[in-house]
Amino acid sequence: MFAKILIANRGEIACRVIRTARRMGVRTVAVYSDADAGALHVEMADETVHIGPSPVGESYLRGDKIVAAALATGAEAIHPGYGFLSENPDFVDQVTAVGLVFIGPSAASIRAMGLKDAAKRLMEKAGVPVVPGYHGEAQEIVLLASKAREIGYPVLIKARAGGGGKGMRRVEHPDDFSEALSGARREAKAAFGDDRVLVEKYVDKPRHIEVQVFGDIFGNVVHLYERDCSAQRRHQKVIEEAPAPGMTPALRKAMTEAAVKAAKAIDYSGAGTIEFIVDASQGLKADRFWFMEMNTRLQVEHPVTEMVTGTDLVEWQLRVASGEKLPKTQSEIALSGHAFEARIYAEDAAKGFLPATGTLHHLKFPDTAPEGASMRIETGVRTGDAISPFYDPMIAKLVVHGKNRQAALEALGISLSQTEIAGSTVNTAFLAALAADADFSAGDVDTGLIGRHQQALTAVPPPSSEIVAAAALAASGAGAQAPTRDPWSSLAGYAHFHAMARRTRLRYGEDDILALVSMRPDGRFQVALDAPYDSALDLRAAPRLARWPGHVTVFSGAVGHSFAVPDPLARADEIAAGADSLRAPMPGLVKLVRAAKGETVIKGQPLLILEAMKMEHTISATHDGTIAEIATEGAQVTDGTVLVRFAEEAHG
């Protein structure tokens, strides 16, 4: 076994690897960028090495710096985590060329599966079923459009390199093919440096079911059953589970055998995932699944497999990479119970899942698992940490395990309702709504479920009068301590003939709220609110809430209602964007400008494309008008930057 390893990653996965390595007695080296100087993974590691500025291209994607850090610290091996360099065969060559061990598959295996088109041709030869489509080298638009017509619409354009839904477009009609192809190519080029695509038949009711495989250098390959990752938004996974709901013995046997066959075809060693698309339009059948791609690394959702098989896949990675045989044979790997993983992101689900930034002023996860269940939190952040625009905005993975799917699903809902995060917009309410969705609860899930139910799943319920009153009480300072526990608080606001009222203002979204807070003789607080809220409420027990600079967040289940608390001594800022300008909803790069200064545009017309976190977001006109100014293509902008300004006479 290794004495010391370097982790070429950050955040949650770096912390995950450190925990297992520490348990095994293996010392760890963390690398970090400027933005991560105070990060949790840096604090946890035995040694640390600074590798550059915050942008990934100058730090976490610099293989030369990472290899140099491993050599300088005496590390024997490099664990890539997931993302970044984890599936870069050139990096594997860099690592092995200097005598270090790459904790993962060989460069040859990664290359074999790195390009979707070549991988599918290889799988066809190995007897693994693949999705009908065009997987050839030629990329002329006329040829691709012709192949799309042959396959039959709808079709799916997919980047041949990478994954995560980047560079992917569904096309319903031939007239839309050219525009979709251009968008897919731009996004693929930005994310993977390769704008080549393949075209496949779009499956009407697709399930995304993947099989965890593991191989060693002795030619042994096993599977650890399947995971269902069908709950997706923007082709990115949201909630994963194991085993797949509705899985039949016949389909499981066919899929796991195909997955093992695929891994053996490329002499695979280490952790890997074979991803299949399954046509669930007529139920799960053994002849209705096809190979999509192989992820030649540890998956984000690997904890659900660990929970149902009682394994530590990171430990397996270290053992296999150090030259040991697989810890278990196939007959020794059994399924037990059911597990879910929910990805908690800093994002605004109600605004199309826009990534968010901010400081996590309050971060609290459940202290214990619900009765009869087990739970684990995988995170790389703490209270006070910032969500950076440079990296993926995932805050944590909440993983639960129960004796069956229903028990695990109930545990997931309870755990989400007990999670409290303030300081950034997060998706906990959306996750809880998805977990409670009737179709999802019944296991009737496919990759289009979230899209079909998106409006209901992302709707933000308005705060009740009780929630507003609690926020006003907290903002006023009158309820800073529970009156039943602090006898001195009963003197607060004392007056001879009536209760003294404190005037408090709140802002919720676009609404200004005025509240009058007073203490009653019996120790209760009375909060008087303007319409449309109840005129007066009596409060004694403080709800779950968090105070943070200039704000109060009140938690109701998985929903966090955040109220701004204006400083009464500060001068009001009268400058507002108004309808005469469009501002960047997040930090990003102006990827494409589709309008010009002086041009007359109509409401809804796309004006420019903003790229943030490797995804494209279209900024469209909010009304008819004439453009007075527009951002420059290639400009890097921050949250709130004016992208488009309209001429004053444009509307009225």
CA of residue 321 relative to chain centroid, distance = 29
Measured distance CA(559)–CA(602) in Å, rounded: 36
CA of residue 231 relative to chain centroid, distance = 12
Helices and strands (H, E) in the chain, number of each type: 16, 38
Contacts of residue 441, Cβ cutoff 8 Å, sequence gap at least 6: 409, 435
Q: What are phi and psi of 277, to 5 degrees?
A: -105, 135
Out of 297, 319, 343, 645, pick the active-site residue.
297
Contacts of residue 278, Cβ cutoff 8 Å, sequence gap at least 6: 203, 206, 207, 208, 209, 251, 284, 288, 289, 290
Cα–Cα distances in angstroms (integers) from residue 75 to residues 29, 174, 382, in the given order:
7, 54, 27
Measured distance CA(49)–CA(62) in Å, rounded: 13
Residues written for the chain = 652
Measured distance CA(413)–CA(422) in Å, rounded: 19
Residue 442 corresponds to which amino acid?
A
Cα–Cα distances in angstroms (integers) from residue 629 to residues 55, 107, 124, 646, in the given order:
29, 49, 53, 7
CA atoms within 13 A on the CB side of 301: 30
What single DSSP character describes residue 499? P
Torsion of the alpha carbons at 135, 136, 138 and 142, rounded to the nearest 10: -50
Catalytic residue check, 583: no
- Look at strands 606-612 and 588-593 and give their pairing: antiparallel
Instruction: List b or e across 189-213, with b for residues whose CB sees 16 or more CB atoms inside 10 angstroms.
Output: ebbbebbbbbbbbbbebbbbbbbbb
Measured distance CA(288)–CA(267) in Å, rounded: 26
Six-digit token string for 293: 């791609």
Six-digit token string for 115: 């390009």
Report yes or no: 134 and 111 within 8 Å, Cβ to Cβ: no
Report yes or no: 203 and 285 within 8 Å, Cβ to Cβ: no
- Look at strands 338-345 and 394-402 and give their pairing: antiparallel
Residue in 236, 245, 260 with CA at minimum distance from that of residue 163: 236
Measured distance CA(357)–CA(342) in Å, rounded: 19
Instruction: List, by residue number, the catalytic residues.
Output: 297
